[in-house]
Amino acid sequence: MSKSKLEISVREIIQQQKQVWELARINYLGLEKVETKAFEFDGFKIVAQYNPERIRSSAAKTDAESIARRACFLCAANRPAQQQGVTFGKQYTVLVNPFPIFTEHLTISLNTHLAQEIAPYFADLLQLSKQLTDFTLFYNGPKCGASAPDHFHFQAGSKNKMPLDSEIRHVINKWGQLLFQDEHTSITALGRKYLRNLICLISDSEQELIHHFKMILNFLNEAETADEPMMNIVSRFENGQWIVVIFPRRQQRPQQFYANGSDQILISPASVEMGGLVILPRKEDFDKLTPDDLTDIYRQVSVGDEVFEELKDQIKMKR
């Protein structure tokens, strides 16, 4: 399959930035030294990555007061002179993320300083997924891992680096509850057997995906008090279909993040963690992490079972 013009341009800017931007060059070289280890569960795995450069994101202060005190690092006027990007339409600039998790890690920033809110931009996520077929796209809600909740953006990383990418079809076939299916779209719910409550939409129809996503968002809006319901979204396009996974959330960070002494684990789950790649910026946390820790952390941050059951009922009734 031939690559889109956007994908070709993105690959060129990745190489250019690694050569001319010292911060990016050093941090991408540093990925060669990150440590990883896999935890095997029943038919799936969670991969932990020790990545000290991600401390800025994992420990970021995202309260309104802290955001107001700092300049927005996604606004063009505040970005480093060396940070160059590729335009996507008139609204977005595709940037190389200088603090990478993946060997190819992008931040796709809205050109206007508007808050993180998925509803007006979900169709853009689908279009980006279709044009960047070697990448997995993801969205972090303003209270679910976005280190810049004041400036709308997506991120993208090398496809098949998160366990979710290679596991999703297998685990929904094994444990999923089919909520809806027609000739274009299937909607499946997957619960605690995968540690995380999630909804998976697979479709070759952009319009159907938009319709079903609005329905899910509307229900979660009714169940939440915040302006945007807490969620992470992971999206990719392959073999003529979108695979969109929605992780409804109830908590930004687990109690381990706030604990003292040896009980603390500095982890702030976002889309990548919900996708099974757990980023730990401190070596002591990487060394002591256990499967029981992971099970408990996911239980805390994933949407509660009662709300999840209500969401499934809504999808079955209002599809």
Average pLDDT over every residue of 235-255: 96
**For residue range 162-189, what is the model confidence (pLDDT) as tens digits?**
999 999 999 999 999 999 999 999 999 9
Average pLDDT over every residue of 25-38: 93
**Residue 223 pLDDT:** 66
Residues recorded for the chain: 319
What is the bridge-based pairing of β-strands 198-203 and 177-181?
unpaired
Band of pLDDT at residue 52, cut at 50, 70 and 90: confident
State the average pLDDT for the chain: 93
Tell me if residue 248 falls in helix, strand or coil: strand
Asked if residue 232 has pLDDT above 90, the reply is yes
**Residue 68 pLDDT:** 78
Q: What is the pTM of this model?
A: 0.94
**Residue 67 pLDDT:** 80
Which of 51-65, 179-193, 251-265 shows the lowest mean pLDDT across its residues?
A: 51-65
Band of pLDDT at residue 133, cut at 50, 70 and 90: very high
Average pLDDT over every residue of 247-262: 95
Band of pLDDT at residue 57, cut at 50, 70 and 90: low
Band of pLDDT at residue 56, cut at 50, 70 and 90: low
User: Exposed, middle or buried, 102 (CB in 10 Å: 0-12/13-18/19+)?
Assistant: buried
Query: Hey, where are the domains in the chain?
Result: 5-165+208-318
Asked if residue 63 has pLDDT above 80, the reply is no
Asked if residue 222 has pLDDT above 80, the reply is no
Enter the CATH code of domain 5-165+208-318. Answer: 3.30.428.70
Band of pLDDT at residue 58, cut at 50, 70 and 90: low
The answer to whether the CB of 112 falls within 8 A of the CB of 161 is no
Residue with tokens 């079972």: 305
**Residue 60 pLDDT:** 56
Type of residue at 135: F
**For residue range 3-21, what is the model confidence (pLDDT) as tens digits?**
899 999 999 999 999 999 9
Tell me if residue 79 falls in helix, strand or coil: coil
Asked if residue 225 has pLDDT above 70, the reply is no
The answer to whether the CB of 297 falls within 8 A of the CB of 256 is yes
**Residue 70 pLDDT:** 85
Rounded alpha-carbon distances, angstroms, from residue 230 to 132, 247, 291:
26, 9, 25
**Residue 294 pLDDT:** 98
Asked if residue 211 has pLDDT above 60, the reply is yes
**For residue range 82-104, what is the model confidence (pLDDT) as tens digits?**
999 999 999 999 999 999 999 99
Type of residue at 87: T
Of residues 52 and 36, more confidence is placed in 36
Asked if residue 226 has pLDDT above 80, the reply is no
**Residue 255 pLDDT:** 97
Quick one: which of 82, 307, 306, 122 has its CA closest to 212?
122
Other CB atoms within a 10 A radius of the CB of residue 7 amount to 17
Asked if residue 59 has pLDDT above 60, the reply is no
